[in-house]
Structure 1
Amino acid sequence: MSSFAAERRATYREVLAVRQFRALFVAQLLSLVGDRAAAVALGVLVYERSRSPLLAATVFGLTFLPHLFAAPLSVLVDRMPRRRVLVLCDLARVPLVLLMLVPDAPLALLFVLLGLVTLCEVPFDAARTVVMRSVLDDDQYPVGVALSSAVYEASLLIGSLGGGLLVAALSVRGCLLFDVATFVVSAVVVRLLVDEHAPVVEPDEQQSGLRQTLHFLLAPATRRMLWLALVVAGVATGAEGLSVTVAYSLGGGASLTGVLAAAIPAGTLLAGLLVPRLLTRTQQRRVALPLAGVTVGALALCALPVGVPTLVGLWALIGAGCAVLVIANPVVMAAVPDAHRGRAFGICSSVLMAAQAVGILAAGTLADHLSPTRALAVLGGLGAVALLPVALRGLAAAEGAADARHEVVAG
């Protein structure tokens, strides 16, 4: 009873009033805005020089690939002061982007530079997350995660449009210089407003290894929450990967593609902001499985002969269920000691990226043999099967608790 009474719902104003979180929030915002603009600008540059849609698409693919190598890079966060990692990652990206401005630079060089720029995001995000966990208390941290997630989803939602407008207004060169400026300002903000946050060094070096980090991540409660997040991320990303195919199969073309592509991040943004604001930490953990069920259920309903507005609503529900990821982050960070959080963040990022890749591959394979909407329904069914072990374990735990209460009453 006392643990429930101790929990409270922190407000967004309260979280934004924390100086160091506010600095991290601004740094993340600057980084995302600059990166989205630079990705669009580089995509335009590559297409103008090559006239190859594949090479232009490769630009956007390279913004995700380095996260597969997140685990080894994130170890830096457990070895160096976290503020230093943040500043070095920002400053390292400045010369890399400037090199992209070299006239007639080979496309292969541009791809390598973009990959290296994205690679710097991995320890930056890990350090930002670990510092955020340190400066916010247990009730504030889920709200801080929600704000960070909202910024990310909003960048996906408006990134292409905003990047296109910036390219039109500033030119490709101007967008890349704008990206450089965001990194410089971010580094200054972090250096002036964020404390050093030296990592906790454990006396036994072996205890800081991969095996011990996995031990924390694979604890039953943490493992179940991670599994929910992986399943939801995988099937939701698979649905996003079919947005073009679904739109054209319904005769909607490019306009419907844009609406569907925006519906999932919009649903994630809204639900991600509401869940931590309206629910306590215990309540959030309780709704994690139902939220995952919303995603797979909405996918399954896509096979029904519904109109386009209803389909868009279902896609927004797919995104709403992704609020599970906002719930999972605080659970994982609470289960892992400070000395292991950088590595833990990297492992989770790598596994999450792998789950998204599997989701896209599965969705594409299904769509090759079925209609796009039926492929989505089957993907939802596979997701439901994957959630079944967690659901059964939760049911068994509930029955065990009910039996225990009955014995107490009978006694």
Structure 2
Amino acid sequence: MPSNSPSPAGGPRDAADTPHGPTRPRDPSAAPRAATAHPAEPVQVSAPSPERADLIDPKPSPALRDQAPAASPEPTPRGYRAVFAVREFRAVFAAHLLSLLGVVVSELALTVLVYDLTGSPLLSALTVALGFLPYLVGGTLFAGVADRYPARRVLVTCDLICAGCVAVMVLPGTPVGGLLALRCLVASVSPVFTGTRMAALTDILGEGDLYVLGRSLLRIVSQSALLIGFGVGGVLLAALSARGAITITVGTFLCSAALLRFGTRDRPARTGGDRGGALLKESLAGARVVLADRRIRALMLLFWVPALFVVAPEALAAPYADEIGLGPAALGLLMCAMPVGHIAAELYAGAVLAPRIRSRIVLPVAAAGLLPLLLYGLRPGMVLTLVALALAGVGAAYIIGLDQWFVDAVPEELRGRAMTLLTAGLMTVQGIGMALAGLAAEFLPVHRVVAGSGAIGVVCTLLLVREVSRTARSTAPADGSRTEVRDGADQHMTSG
């Protein structure tokens, strides 16, 4: 379905899920209290009698030392392996792969189909732009769905809506206007799906490190789609017509819906079940409450602002390649460099860094993440440009720690709406950033536009980092202690 996807539902958890459920860690003081509530009689340990002392060998024989323990318990999985040990997450992950494939292939095939029908580059480009613009509408007006209805029902319904829209696109009689309208509908559903899935992950994985790593895995898949998704779509379009390629995506959406329906548990709605009242009013009210909170607003902007500026080199990759005299093959490398850096940094942060370290690097990495774009001011050649783009991708590693801050800051009853709004804003600012970069490049050299985007972005991010630091201090407990984290990730910077 939309470029991000899991659900909170699922059948009974198996043994692998048990250690990772969304329960709070036990109070360290609870175990001692339980142990001493009914003290047993003291047990007297007597020394061995002198006549039996010769039978006690203080050093085990080599044969005994070499024997393996009879039944040593298997080590508890950690890191990303611990996330995959949760059965419900495996279903969500597989559904995300399928729905993401459906989105990428349908976008590419629909662009080709519209161009074949009209011969208009403008309408073909508009098809791509419609993947961004409706996010704001859908994420703002329909955000209440994420908390108002059970998450599994929302996710499955969204997948079925996407499958239905794509099925109508395939019909030969569907006019171009109808194709664009259906594209808008799919894009409007996407933020609801993504926000609901993000909130549902806290039910499946808890609100601690497993949630952060689960979001990271889904984001890595989304980034990988930029590397291989369009390649798969290109292969399909080489073997099939545009409508034939779109037909395949109907099956991917239906399979995603089936995985979510039968692979996840049915949990109640966050706001107490289906309720009457205007959905639009509830969605807008939730958005006002979320944005009125200074801490949540600052964290949300820290997701959005760097994304607004980091898309400039991607939007202008083709003009920049032409400016420095590179060919189509080099253009492909320019498009891949930033996702490669992002994936590598995210994998390292998730697999190697401890949660406390990931939290500590959020603000420094966010502040420095756009600095590599300043290298464009030198009008660099191929190699230095690839380095700058890869480093800019590495800068997105701050998001993995920011995910934990955000889920800690948002009240549970607002979580679905907050995460839907987060997703909608993230996609919208990326579309705006691309449009602004293209507009600026009409009047200025491309390398200056990218460098200027990096410079402005660094200044804006530094101001935002200062605000996030202030809100962290203002929300800290009076005694200075840190609130304990509870145990149980878009196309570009997301998420999802």
Which of 333, 343, 348 lines up with 1:269 in the alignment? Answer: 343
For residues 183-240 of structure 1, give each alpha carbon's deviation from its aligned partner in whole angstroms, at most 9, with x where no partner exists: 111111111111112123269999x775566545554544433332222101111221
* Letter matched to residue 127 of structure 1: T
Equivalent runs, 1:94-113 vs 2, <5 Å: 94-113=163-182
Name the residue aligned to 1:51: 119
1:158 & 1:91 partners in 2: Cα distance?
A: 25
1:305 & 1:35 partners in 2: Cα distance?
A: 35
Name the residue aligned to 2:45: none
Identity %: 34
1:17 equivalent to 2:85? Answer yes
1:377 equivalent to 2:457? Answer no
For residues 54-75 of structure 1, give each alpha carbon's deviation from its aligned partner in whole angstroms, at most 9, with x where no partner exists: 2222222222222112122221
Name the residue aligned to 1:333: 407
Runs of at least 5 residues in structure 2 that lack an aligned partner in the other structure: 1-24, 29-76, 481-496
- Structure with greater helix percent: 1
* Letter matched to residue 92 of structure 2: L
2:176 & 2:444 partners in 1: Cα distance?
A: 37
Name the residue aligned to 2:257: 187
1:396 & 1:339 partners in 2: Cα distance?
A: 25
Q: CA RMSD in A?
A: 3.0
Kept in 1: contact 2:80–2:350 (CA 8 A): no
2:422 & 2:110 partners in 1: Cα distance?
A: 29
Tell me which moved more, 147-156 or 115-124: 115-124
Which of 156, 159, 180 lines up with 2:226 in the alignment? Answer: 156
Name the residue aligned to 1:257: 331
Name the residue aligned to 2:44: none
1:33 equivalent to 2:107? Answer no
Name the residue aligned to 1:314: 388
Shift of the alpha carbon at 1:383?
A: 1.0
Shift of the alpha carbon at 1:360?
A: 2.3
1:298 & 1:102 partners in 2: Cα distance?
A: 47
Shift of the alpha carbon at 1:23?
A: 0.9
Residues 393 and 348 of structure 1: CA distance in aligned 2, closer, same or farther (over 3 Å): closer
For residues 70-96 of structure 1, give each alpha carbon's deviation from its aligned partner in whole angstroms, at most 9, with x where no partner exists: 122221111111001111111222222
Report the TM-score when normalising by structure 2. Answer: 0.73
Name the residue aligned to 2:135: 67
For residues 291-335 of structure 1, give each alpha carbon's deviation from its aligned partner in whole angstroms, at most 9, with x where no partner exists: 223332101122125331111110111122123333333322221
Name the residue aligned to 1:408: none
Runs (4+) of structure 1 moved beyond 4 Å?
202-206, 208-221, 391-401
Equivalent runs, 1:236-251 vs 2, <5 Å: 236-251=310-325
Which of 217, 239, 259 lines up with 1:169 in the alignment? Answer: 239
Shift of the alpha carbon at 1:399?
A: 12
Tell me which moved more, 322-331 or 309-318: 322-331
* Letter matched to residue 85 of structure 1: V
* Letter matched to residue 145 of structure 1: R
Residues 211 and 118 of structure 1: CA distance in aligned 2, closer, same or farther (over 3 Å): closer
Kept in 1: contact 2:373–2:388 (CA 8 A): yes
Which of 345, 348, 359 lines up with 2:419 in the alignment? Answer: 345
Runs of at least 5 residues in structure 1 that lack an aligned partner in the other structure: 406-411
Kept in 2: contact 1:149–1:326 (CA 8 A): no
Name the residue aligned to 1:304: 378
Which of 131, 142, 148 lines up with 2:212 in the alignment? Answer: 142
1:91 & 1:399 partners in 2: Cα distance?
A: 45
1:232 & 1:98 partners in 2: Cα distance?
A: 36
